[in-house]
Chains A and B, each alone.
Chain A
Amino acid sequence: MDTTLPVYDSAALRTPIITELRNLWVYRGLIRLLVTRDLTTRYKRSVLGVWWTLLNPLLTTGVMWLVFGVVIGSRFGQTTEPYVVYLLSGVIMMTFFSQGFLATAAAITGAGGILTKVYVPAEVFAFATAISTAVNFLISFGALIIIQIWAGVGVPLTILLAPVPIILMLALIVGLGLTLAALAVYFYDILDLSRVLVQLVYYLTPVFWTLDIIPDRFHGLLRFNPLFSYLELFRDLAYRGIMPEAWVWLIPIGSSLVFLALGVWLFGRSWKTLVSQL
């Protein structure tokens, strides 16, 4: 039996990405457990329970629809498609992004009580949190499909490809979350800063406004915001039934891979300092 003992060698080299992938596989049982725990304990003391996951984006959309669709009127709502569908699809994608990104980064500091007493690779907590926001997203995606049918847009066949932008978004969230967690070791303020930046990005992305209120010459500039193309990709596939152009695919694929690699690399470099400061 002794030859098969697991061995911890502090001098063993950590191969970036390979080590993380192996950890995720070894700890898959824990990830599954953390995700279900997160989903079941979040609303444990509330009356409506898990229904809040469904209600939250619907209420946000309701408020925005009232403000931008009804009160301010056509200034924002110049769409050939039903504004409610346009709005809800944007809201759930951006909520997925902002909550997922911030929660993933916070997951590592939040697990400090465990990480300083029991050995668990820290990225496992980040990944589990990202997955549970993805599950929440899927629930609200269900709400979107119902609204689509109700608003008469229907469900196009391209929806079968909608998991692609969702998975790319998950990769982006994990990458940015790990980057943020790694940077927060050196300057804690970045957590507060990124909360503000996420707000800014929310307004710079066409969630509740449409492209045609922006002068044409700025449209090229808008493409520098990667989230714009995640949203376009998702909307095209989820309800417009359009096969998106190449550039719409390229930016999400490229940016998610770049940020995922950056996050894993930065995290791998700083995890030693990170655990000693929890």
Chain B
Amino acid sequence: MKGQVLIEATNVSVAYRMSHDRAGTFKEFTFQLLKRQVTTESFLAVDDVSFEVNRGETLALIGPNGAGKTTMMKVIARVLPPTEGRVVVKGVVAPMIALGAGFNSELNAIENIVLLGTLLGRDPLEMRGRVESICDWAGLTEFMDVPIRSYSSGMLARLGFGVVSDVEPDVIVVDEVLAVGDEAFQRRSFDRLQSLISGGTAVLLVSHALEKVEAMADRVIWMDKGKIRMEGGPDEVIAAYKASVPR
């Protein structure tokens, strides 16, 4: 079913409330309410963005810090509701926004695999059956009954990627996570992503590593100050983006 649209963002805007104007205490809030000034001032992190990602396709978001890339990812990952516009995502979504989010440092690898898998919407019993192959992939079999608070960051990243990529997702949302770990891990996680993509997974990727984007993405969107600045093939968009960065 190639060509089926899995991610559809239509005129999405996300506004954050400005924190310095937020009523901090009950007293302030009451006064502001009385003066009819409850803060409405907000900051548009994403401003009227639309795009689609098809099955088996990889779309990358690039742009400077503060362009709204991560916010956009969070909207697609369902973590953040859009303020305006609409998002429709079909299928099982695997968010790789921060590998290891959801892990409990007091628990060991086995318990954490079950915990994270369940957080991602899978059945705990089913996850228990996946423990061995995940530990095996992550190269953590001999440490699987050690509390993960004694793990190195590379080990945590391998475990996290192992679990998230194990759920056979239809949609993967990746935020810079492929930049962690050693060369061997990066290559293996890249290969695993590739095999998922050829199996029909749609990928939304956010990265500052432009060579990686060039190698992986079918299409690239350049975001700036919450808006889409340019959209197209990786070569032309990356070249234009690079040219815009002052030396």
Per the bound structure, the CA–CA distance linking A117 and B91 in Å amounts to 18
A9 surroundings in chain B (CB, below 8 A): 86-88
8 A Cβ contacts from A16-70 to B: 29-30, 32-33, 37, 41, 44
Determine the interface band of chain B, counting residues with CB < 8 A from chain A: 35 or more
Contact of A6 among B1, B91, B114 (CB under 8 A): B91
B41 near A: Cβ within 8 Å?
Answer: no
With A10-B86, A118-B120 in contact, is A2–B26 under 8 Å at CB? no
Binds B, one of A212-220, A230-238, A268-276: A268-276
Task: Tell me whether A189 and B89 are in contact (CB under 8 A).
Answer: no
Q: Which of A111-134 contact B (CB under 8 A)?
A: 113-120
A119 touches B91 (CB 8 A): no
**Which residues of chain B are within 8 angstroms of A33 by Cβ–Cβ distance?**
114-115, 118, 124
Bound-state Cα–Cα, A108 to B64, Å = 32
| Chain B nearest Cβ from A120, distance in angstroms | 6
Taking a contact as CB atoms under 8 Å apart, the answer to whether B107 and A119 are in contact is no
Would you call B95 and A117 a contact (CB within 8 A)? yes
Q: Does B82 contact A (CB under 8 A)?
A: yes
**A247 CB-CB contact with B under 8 Å:** no
Asked if B101 is an interface residue, CB under 8 A from chain A, the answer is: yes
Tally of contacts, chain A with chain B, CB under 8 A = 108
- Which residues of A195-253 have CB atoms within 8 Å of chain B's CB atoms? none
Does B77 lie within 8 Å of A5, measured CB to CB? no
Indicate which residue in B4, B78, B104, B124 contacts A119 across the interface (CB closer than 8 Å).
B78
Q: Is the CB of A186 within 8 A of B23?
A: yes
At the interface, yes or no: A15 with Cβ under 8 Å from chain B?
A: no
Interface residues on A, range: 20 to 34
**Interchain CB contact under 8 A, B79 and A275:** yes
Known pairs A118-B102, A188-B24; A37 contacts B107 (CB<8 A)? yes
Q: Which residues of B contact A277 (CB under 8 A)?
A: 17
Task: For residue B217, give the distance in angstroms from its CB to the closest CB of chain A.
Answer: 23
Query: Would you call B26 and A119 a contact (CB within 8 A)?
Result: no
**Is B240 an interface position by the 8 A CB rule?**
no
Question: Chain B residues near A11 (CB, 8 Å)?
Answer: 86, 88
Given contacts A5-B92, A119-B93, 16 further A-B contacts (CB under 8 A): A5-B170, A6-B90, A7-B90, A8-B78, A10-B78, A10-B81, A10-B82, A29-B124, A29-B125, A30-B118, A115-B79, A116-B101, A117-B79, A117-B98, A118-B95, A187-B23
Some 13 contacts from A to B, beta carbons below 8 A apart, are A5-B91, A5-B92, A6-B90, A33-B124, A37-B111, A41-B106, A114-B102, A117-B95, A117-B101, A119-B77, A119-B78, A186-B23, A189-B25
